[in-house]
């Protein structure tokens, strides 16, 4: 066994230690006796073990229950400590652990998708090594940052034995590196997608099954391919039946095949190239089935049988080469000498080796071609100066027989090795073997077999094979074997695949030497390849072979134990209490403790104490003695307390006994008094009962008489009222019938009148709809025809199905009838036979009993008659049975014919289903085409709304003026003056100059308005002046009703220029208030008219017929009249005049909405950006200073520590207050303020909760108390008053809203951390009562990472953990997302309608204009006041 730390010298009785175990490798126990150098240990598995003192290692009793993420943090860095730490973390699904800068990855043999999703990659992006939990992403990120910052190439070496997870780890590395620096790939795919999606190709052609791993990916065939390539069962092919493994559990060959074909498409392999690849693979399979037999000549060979000839023909056909040339290349060799060319034959064994060499060469060239194709597809920047190489290298494995081929030996090869390396310290010759040799690796000695080592060089490319395949008619095959030049043919003739591998390995070592290496050691926990199984011996062997224990041993040679000053004082401060009583610096205090203990060789660093091997055990032993003495003192005091407590209990019991006796005597006296009082009470109640009974009898008689009289009077009254009511009902029905008849006549007349008018309107609308329906009529007609065709085929299909079902039922009934008839006949036959047997028995008995002469003849005659009758009946039954059997045969024939008809019908049905599928596909394409037209229409609308407000877009619009239809008649009117007729050309020429001056005046007013709103105009009674002025001007100028104007674009430009400074929150809040107010006014004022829905040459008509009909109805005169009435009603309610808005006004409203959302997002993101650095400090409590351990200054230290704990949270509260004051000062609507703080608190929840789940040091009891105290600060802020002097007492609740509820995840998680007695909680209580919001994955993560550094409490019970695992497995099987991290919602959480409903109506009548425009005559209307 390899021990990584010096033998302990301070093992005492009661110490917890580790001892070797033949089953578990190491087992822990307690020392019960020490006899010289022998130690007696009571193990935890109830065994007593005697071991030598040098083989007993100390156990760290204060190790965290969940292990440590870096094994250099272990107090005892030895084999059992490392093994226990890995086992503990593996049980919690923590599969990654650091050993310095080496990452150990244990294969979980199950899917853990939450460890590798995008959220996890985002968390590790830019994080330093060790800041978060160990992860393969952390190693990749360190390599990437080193390459970016230092400009040096890096490499990541992933090693481990087969099945340890090297391939999956490499995938994750490539995925993360592509995520960090992945540029856009071809056809819209990223490098990450291309790298990951090329894996199926490499696995299909590059992986192979090993004795320790089933990671091969088979490439199955479809039925057509099997027939095309003459492939069958894999068991019939020599190259596939060597492992006797044809199926893998949990692997679907069809899905794997589809993934492979899809991946080949992604990496750029065309269909023709894929066809050629499969041809080559099929040819290799057929080539392996070619066998040879001895020929007629000596050392010659021929094809063994017809099966071999068939496979030879298929191989030549697939490779497109000559069959005879292929046979000659396999059975003959051409030797070129200076004198002549000699052709010699090969014996069958040599021919088979030639066959295998050809197969290896073809497959090697094919795989090289695939790798080159994938590399070209992914691409590489030729100008890159640095790279990151990810090496998935084969693991170090020691098998029972370490060789590649199990047959034949080469003693001469072994003897040559013995002679050449006999003096090498790494080479060892076994004593009892002539062909084995041992290599002393750094991880241990491995014995190799020399069997067939020389045959590994027999796979070189033969000239005949090269010539054969170079002459192939298949371009793909010739590209794999290009003709070699004359000078290169000789040098490469004997270049085997093994030799090329050696050159590649040498080149790889040179590349690795020029890079900065990073190491990942993959470990396979068990050989069963199943989850939750941890085999100690298997793990230890891999750690030794992987060099992990060697690295730990090197670390132990220096200072294996490293503790910070705080941790050292916290653990060993009890050894020197006088040091803690004094006011010493932490470093000085540690020095004093070590000097007092008399240790030598240690080192004191800047922040840590470095101890030699064994010194930690020495200190722990002394600490155990001190704690033992303290425990005995405590026990003595406890025994005194228990004795006094028993005495007090005894005295109390005596007093209690006396009290009971006195109480019993008093109760007896009381009982006598109570009985006397009871007797008097009984007499009183009896007299009262008799008197009451007499009175009730007299009263009942009187009531009976009164009831009779009153009943007779009531009956007479009821009879009179019934007659009166009947007469009233008859009169009522007659009057109702008369009035109803008159009403129906009036209604019929009104309906006739209305129908006539509606028919006239409908004809007018029909003409418009016919014009609009022309563009999609053809498509709709085609779609209707296809739908009818589909319905017809569906009906036929159902009819065929019903007929088939009826036929099956009829056939089943007929067969049942025949079966019943046959059963009945069989029953009758059995009864007849039994009757005959009974009659014969009766006759035999009668003959035996009768006299010998007289009655014998009569009995015989009678029996003969009965027998003949019965025989005749049997014959008749047989004839009937024969006829029934004939009928059954005929029925079976009819059934067979019906089945044949059924098959024909099924075939026709399948054809019909195929046609239906084709028609459905056609219909789907037409629907897609229609949806594309609609989406194109939508895109054009969005483009129109997203036009940049530069003025160029307006100039590019069409100059055509849209003419509106008059509401009452067919005359047309201009948009500006709807009550005047369009003027003539002469009138336009006359009015041209006045109109020009008017336009110039309007332009000046617009310039003045833009200049005015560019300044900070402030607020009037909480109303933004700028928004009110803009709205009044636009309404007065009637800008909402014109077809062309530039004022909207200029306003939008002004807002955009004002918010360019994204970090000026005051300006952003000012414009957020103005834009929301202006949008509210527009929402209540603008309404879309019938023609406003049609933009000038930019909006197309609706793609659907329903859309056109709705547009036509909205544009009808009746709808216009209704909208006018409704607008007058709304105007009366809201005191705002509604106007018919044209396209520029509607576009302005859309742009204003976009700017409102942009400003809101900028303010929210600024707040997040300000508090984001503080959140990283708020998730983990600052470590308490050593001053808290010193008795003299404990009170002051606690006060200072408490102040330091909430400093970061108070900074967050300060930021929230600052933003809140800015928003309130600018009168931002409370609705928007609530949304900002709600999303901000959601961001705080996401950041804190995700950090809690990713950092184990944060999942502690004390840290939960710290975060809970900080959350209380936020809760206090949400409910605290903001304006102390305000008479309205505006509180945060009005503006914070439900922001506190957004912290539900972190609140419940922290609440779970700080509760006591977690092991007593059931899963139902946790999920329903404590943490109903958290998912099972999140609860499992917190439960497994929890540790208590304050009270030593434990996490939930193992039963709860097991239940969580079961639920997580079910969730993963049901494809439910298993990510335990939260997403930050950065969307806009409101709409225009929500803003409009949440804000109160604004009175703009008394808003004073700013001084800049107050004296201008063009803005006199702003000074007017409304009643």
**Which has more confidence, 1414 or 864?**
1414
> Any idea which of 671-685, 944-958, 988-1002, 1317-1331 has the lowest mean pLDDT?
944-958
For 642-672, the pLDDT digits (tens) are 999 999 999 999 999 999 999 999 999 999 9
CA atoms within 13 A on the CB side of 839: 18
**Which has more confidence, 1095 or 288?**
288
For every residue of 147-169, DSSP letters joined together read HHHH---EEEEEE--TTSSHHHH
- CB-based contact 973:967 (threshold 8 Å): no
**Average pLDDT rounded to a whole number, residues 1088-1114:** 39
Q: What is the mean pLDDT of the chain?
A: 78
> Any idea which of 30-34, 360-364, 893-897, 1233-1237 has the lowest mean pLDDT?
893-897
Residue 210 pLDDT class (50, 70, 90 cuts):
low
**Average pLDDT rounded to a whole number, residues 1142-1161:** 90
Q: How far is CA 36 from the centre of its chain?
A: 60
Nearest to 67 by CA among 1063, 1344, 1198, 1276: 1344
For every residue of 971-994, DSSP letters joined together read -EE-SS-TTSBPP-HHHHHHTHHH
According to the model, what pLDDT value does residue 636 have?
93
According to the model, what pLDDT value does residue 839 have?
73
Q: Is the pLDDT of residue 10 over 80?
A: no
Most confident option among 449-458, 937-946, 1207-1216? 1207-1216
Q: Is the pLDDT of residue 578 over 80?
A: yes
Burial class (CB in 10 A: 0-12, 13-18, 19+), 142: buried
According to the model, what pLDDT value does residue 107 have?
93
Name the token pair of 1160. 């809101």
> What is the Cα Rg of the chain in Å?
49
**Average pLDDT rounded to a whole number, residues 1172-1201:** 58
**Average pLDDT rounded to a whole number, residues 878-897:** 79
**Average pLDDT rounded to a whole number, residues 89-117:** 87
CA dihedral 1316, 1319, 1322, 1323 (to 10 degrees): 100
For 338-355, the pLDDT digits (tens) are 777 778 888 888 888 888
For 72-87, the pLDDT digits (tens) are 888 888 889 999 999 9
Rounded to two decimals, the pTM is 0.56
**Average pLDDT rounded to a whole number, residues 611-629:** 82
Beta-strand relationship, 561-564 and 603-604: unpaired
Strands (E) across 81-235 are located at 96-99, 102-106, 154-159
According to the model, what pLDDT value does residue 656 have?
94
Report the percentage of the chain scoring pLDDT > 90.
17
For 1331-1378, the pLDDT digits (tens) are 999 988 889 888 888 888 777 788 888 888 888 888 887 776 554 455
According to the model, what pLDDT value does residue 1116 have?
37
For 971-1005, the pLDDT digits (tens) are 333 333 333 333 444 444 444 444 445 677 888 88
Q: Is the pLDDT of residue 3 over 50?
A: no
Using DSSP's 3-state secondary structure scheme, residue 1122 falls into helix
According to the model, what pLDDT value does residue 448 have?
78
According to the model, what pLDDT value does residue 1425 have?
54
For 1243-1298, the pLDDT digits (tens) are 999 989 988 888 877 888 888 888 888 888 888 888 763 443 343 344 455 676 67
According to the model, what pLDDT value does residue 1093 have?
40
Most confident option among 200-209, 579-588, 822-831, 1301-1310? 1301-1310
Residue 934 pLDDT class (50, 70, 90 cuts):
low
**Average pLDDT rounded to a whole number, residues 499-511:** 79
According to the model, what pLDDT value does residue 1186 have?
40
**Average pLDDT rounded to a whole number, residues 183-212:** 63
As a whole number of angstroms, the distance between CA 18 and CA 57 comes to 5
- String of b and e for 288-308 (b: at least 16 CB within 10 Å)? bbbbbeebeeeebbbbeeeeb
For 996-1026, the pLDDT digits (tens) are 456 778 888 888 888 888 888 888 888 898 8
According to the model, what pLDDT value does residue 959 have?
33
Q: Is the pLDDT of residue 1134 over 80?
A: no
Report the percentage of the chain scoring pLDDT > 70.
78
> Any idea which of 163-167, 789-793, 1173-1177 has the lowest mean pLDDT?
789-793
- CB-based contact 369:480 (threshold 8 Å): yes
Q: Is the pLDDT of residue 1191 over 70?
A: no
Nearest to 179 by CA among 199, 163, 196: 196
According to the model, what pLDDT value does residue 216 have?
53
According to the model, what pLDDT value does residue 185 have?
45
Using DSSP's 3-state secondary structure scheme, residue 1083 falls into helix
Residue 193 pLDDT class (50, 70, 90 cuts):
low
According to the model, what pLDDT value does residue 496 have?
63
Residue 398 pLDDT class (50, 70, 90 cuts):
low
């Amino acid at each position: 066994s390899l021990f990584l730390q010096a033998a302990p010298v301070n093992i005492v009785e009661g110490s917890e230690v580790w001892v070797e175990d033949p089953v578990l490798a190491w087992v822990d126990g307690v020392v019960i006796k020490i006899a010289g150098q022998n130690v007696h240990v009571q193990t935890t598995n109830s065994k007593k073990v005697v071991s030598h003192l040098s083989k007993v290692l100390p156990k760290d009793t204060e190790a965290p229950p969940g292990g440590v993420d870096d094994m250099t943090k272990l107090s005892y860095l030895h084999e059992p400590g490392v093994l226990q730490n890995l086992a503990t973390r593996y049980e919690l699904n923590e599969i990654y652990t650091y050993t310095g800068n080496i990452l150990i990855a244990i294969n979980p043999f199950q899917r853990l998708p939450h460890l590798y999703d995008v959220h996890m990659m985002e968390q590790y992006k830019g994080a330093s090594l060790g800041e978060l939990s160990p992860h393969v992403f952390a190693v990749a990120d360190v390599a990437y940052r080193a390459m970016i910052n230092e400009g040096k190439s890096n490499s990541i070496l992933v090693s481990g034995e087969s099945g340890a997870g090297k391939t999956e780890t490499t995938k994750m590395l490539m995925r993360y590196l592509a995520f960090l620096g992945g540029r856009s790939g071809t056809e819209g795919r990223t490098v990450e997608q291309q790298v990951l999606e090329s894996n199926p190709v490499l696995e299909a052609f590059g992986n192979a099954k090993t004795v320790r791993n089933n990671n091969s990916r088979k490439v199955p065939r479809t039925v057509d391919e099997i027939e095309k390539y003459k492939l069958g069962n894999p068991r019939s092919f020599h190259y596939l039946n060597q492992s006797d493994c044809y199926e893998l559990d949990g692997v679907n060959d069809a899905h794997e095949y589809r993934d492979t074909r899809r991946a080949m498409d992604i990496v750029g392999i065309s269909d023709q190239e894929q066809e050629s690849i499969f041809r080559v693979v099929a040819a290799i399979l057929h080539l392996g089935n070619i066998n040879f037999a001895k020929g007629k000549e000596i050392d010659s060979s021929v094809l063994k049988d017809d099966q071999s000839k068939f496979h030879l023909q298929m191989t030549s056909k697939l490779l497109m080469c000559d069959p005879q040339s292929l046979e000659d290349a396999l059975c003959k060799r051409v030797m070129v000498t200076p004198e002549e060319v000699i052709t010699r034959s090969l014996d069958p064994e040599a021919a088979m080796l030639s066959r295998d060499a050809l197969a290896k060469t073809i497959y090697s060239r094919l795989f090289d071609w695939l790798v080159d194709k994938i590399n070209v597809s992914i691409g590489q920047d030729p100008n890159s100066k640095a790279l990151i190489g990810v090496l998935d290298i084969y693991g170090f494995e020691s098998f029972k027989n370490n060789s590649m081929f199990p047959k034949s030996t080469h003693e001469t090869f072994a003897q040559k090795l013995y002679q050449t390396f006999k003096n090498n310290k790494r080479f060892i010759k076994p004593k009892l073997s002539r062909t084995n040799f041992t290599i002393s690796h750094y991880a241990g000695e491995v014995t190799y077999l020399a069997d067939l080592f020389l045959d590994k060089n027999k796979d070189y490319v033969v000239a005949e094979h090269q010539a054969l395949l170079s002459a192939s008619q298949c371009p793909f095959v010739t590209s794999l074997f290009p003709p070699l030049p004359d000078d290169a043919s000789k040098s490469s003739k004997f270049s085997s695949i093994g030799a090329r591998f050696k050159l590649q390995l040498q080149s790889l070592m040179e590349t690795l030497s020029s890079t900065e290496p990073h190491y990942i050691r993959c470990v396979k926990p068990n050989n069963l390849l199943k989850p939750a199984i941890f085999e100690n011996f298997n793990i230890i062997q891999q750690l030794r072979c992987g060099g992990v224990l060697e690295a730990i041993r090197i670390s132990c040679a220096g200072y294996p134990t490293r503790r910070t000053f705080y941790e050292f004082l916290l653990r060993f401060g009890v050894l020197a209490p006088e040091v803690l009583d004094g006011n010493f610096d932490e470093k000085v205090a540690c020095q004093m403790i070590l000097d007092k203990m008399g240790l030598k060789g240690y080192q004191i660093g800047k922040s840590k104490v470095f101890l030699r091997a064994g010194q930690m055990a020495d200190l722990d032993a002394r600490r155990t003695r001190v704690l033992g003495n303290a425990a005995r003192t405590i026990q003595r005091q406890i025994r005194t307390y228990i004795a006094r407590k028993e005495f007090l209990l005894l005295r109390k019991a005596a007093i209690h006994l006396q009290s009971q006796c006195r109480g019993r005597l008093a109760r007896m006296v009381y009982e006598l008094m109570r009985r006397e009082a009871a007797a008097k009470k009984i007499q009183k109640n009896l007299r009262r009962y008799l008197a009451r009974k007499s009175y009730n009898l007299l009263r009942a008689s009187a009531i009976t008489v009164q009831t009779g009289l009153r009943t007779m009077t009531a009956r007479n009254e009821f009879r009179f009222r019934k007659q009166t009511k009947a007469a009233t009902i008859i009169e009522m029905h007659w009057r109702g019938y008369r009035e109803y008849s008159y009403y129906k006549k009036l209604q019929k007349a009104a309906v006739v009148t209305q129908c006539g008018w509606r028919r006239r309107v409908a004809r007018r609308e029909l003409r418009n709809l016919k014009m609009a329906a022309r563009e999609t009529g053809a498509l709709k007609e085609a779609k209707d025809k296809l739908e009818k065709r589909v319905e017809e085929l569906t009906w036929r299909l159902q009819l065929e199905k019903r007929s088939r079902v009826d036929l099956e039922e009829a056939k089943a009934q007929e067969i049942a009838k025949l079966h019943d008839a046959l059963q009945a006949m069989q029953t009758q036959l059995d009864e007849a036979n039994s009757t005959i047997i009974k009659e014969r028995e009766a006759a035999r008995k009668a003959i035996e009993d009768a006299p010998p002469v007289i009655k014998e003849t009569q009995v015989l005659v009678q029996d003969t008659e009965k027998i003949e009758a019965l025989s005749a009946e049997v014959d008749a039954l047989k004839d009937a049975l024969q006829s029934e059997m004939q009928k059954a045969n005929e029925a079976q024939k009819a059934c067979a014919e019906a089945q044949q008809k059924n098959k024909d019908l099924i075939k026709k049905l399948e054809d019909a289903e195929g046609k239906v599928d084709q028609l459905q596909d056609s219909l789907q394409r037409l629907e897609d085409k229609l949806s594309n037209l609609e989406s194109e229409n939508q895109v054009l609308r969005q483009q129109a709304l997203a036009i940049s407000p530069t003025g160029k877009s307006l100039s590019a619009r069409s100059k055509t003026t849209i003419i509106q239809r008059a509401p009452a008649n067919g005359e047309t009117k201009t948009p500006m003056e709807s009550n005047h007729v369009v003027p003539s050309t002469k009138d336009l020429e006359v009015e041209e100059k006045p109109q020009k001056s008017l336009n110039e005046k309007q332009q000046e007013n617009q310039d003045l308005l833009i200049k005015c709103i560019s300044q900070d105009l402030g607020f009037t009674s909480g109303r933004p002046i700028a928004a009110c002025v803009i709205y009044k001007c636009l309404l007065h100028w009637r800008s909402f009703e014109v077809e062309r104007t530039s004022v909207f674009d200029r306003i939008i430009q002004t807002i955009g220029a004002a918010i360019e400074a994204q970090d000026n929150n005051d300006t952003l809040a000012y414009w957020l208030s103005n834009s929301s107010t202006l949008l509210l006014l527009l929402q209540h004022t603008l309404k879309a008219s019938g023609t406003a829905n049609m933009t000038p040459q930019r909006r197309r008509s609706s793609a659907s017929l329903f859309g056109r009909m709705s547009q036509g109805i909205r544009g009808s005169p009746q709808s216009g009249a209704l909208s006018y009435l409704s607008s007058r009603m709304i105007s009366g309610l809201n005191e705002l005049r509604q106007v018919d808005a044209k396209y520029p006004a509607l576009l302005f409203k859309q742009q204003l909405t976009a700017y409102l959302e942009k400003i809101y997002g900028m303010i929210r993101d600024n707040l997040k950006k300000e508090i984001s650095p503080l959140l990283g400090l708020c998730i983990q409590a600052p470590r308490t200073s050593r001053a808290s351990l010193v008795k003299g200054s404990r009170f002051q230290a606690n006060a200072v520590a408490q102040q330091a704990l909430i400093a970061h949270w108070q900074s967050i509260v300060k930021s929230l207050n600052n933003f809140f004051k800015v928003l309130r000062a600018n009168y931002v609507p409370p609705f928007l303020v609530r949304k900002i703080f709600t999303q901000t608190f959601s961001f705080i929840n996401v950041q804190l909760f995700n950090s809690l789940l990713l950092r184990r040091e944060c999942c502690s009891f004390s840290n939960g108390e710290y975060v809970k105290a900080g959350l209380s600060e936020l809760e206090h802020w949400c409910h605290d008053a903001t304006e102390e002097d305000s008479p309205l007492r505006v509180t945060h609740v009005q503006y914070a809203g439900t922001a506190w509820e957004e912290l539900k995840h972190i609140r419940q998680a922290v609440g779970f951390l700080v509760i006591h007695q977690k092991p007593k909680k059931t899963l139902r209580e946790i999920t329903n009562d404590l943490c109903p919001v958290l998912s099972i994955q999140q609860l499992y993560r917190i439960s497994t990472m929890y540790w208590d550094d304050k009270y030593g409490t434990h996490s939930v019970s193992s039963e709860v953990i097991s239940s969580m695992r079961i639920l997580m497995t079910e969730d993963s099987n049901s494809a439910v997302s298993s990510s335990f991290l939260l997403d930050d919602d950065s969307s806009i959480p409101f709409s225009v309608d929500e803003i409009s409903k949440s804000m109160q109506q604004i009175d703009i009548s008394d808003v004073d204009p700013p001084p800049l425009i107050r004296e201008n005559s063009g803005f006199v209307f702003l000074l007017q006041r409304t009643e």
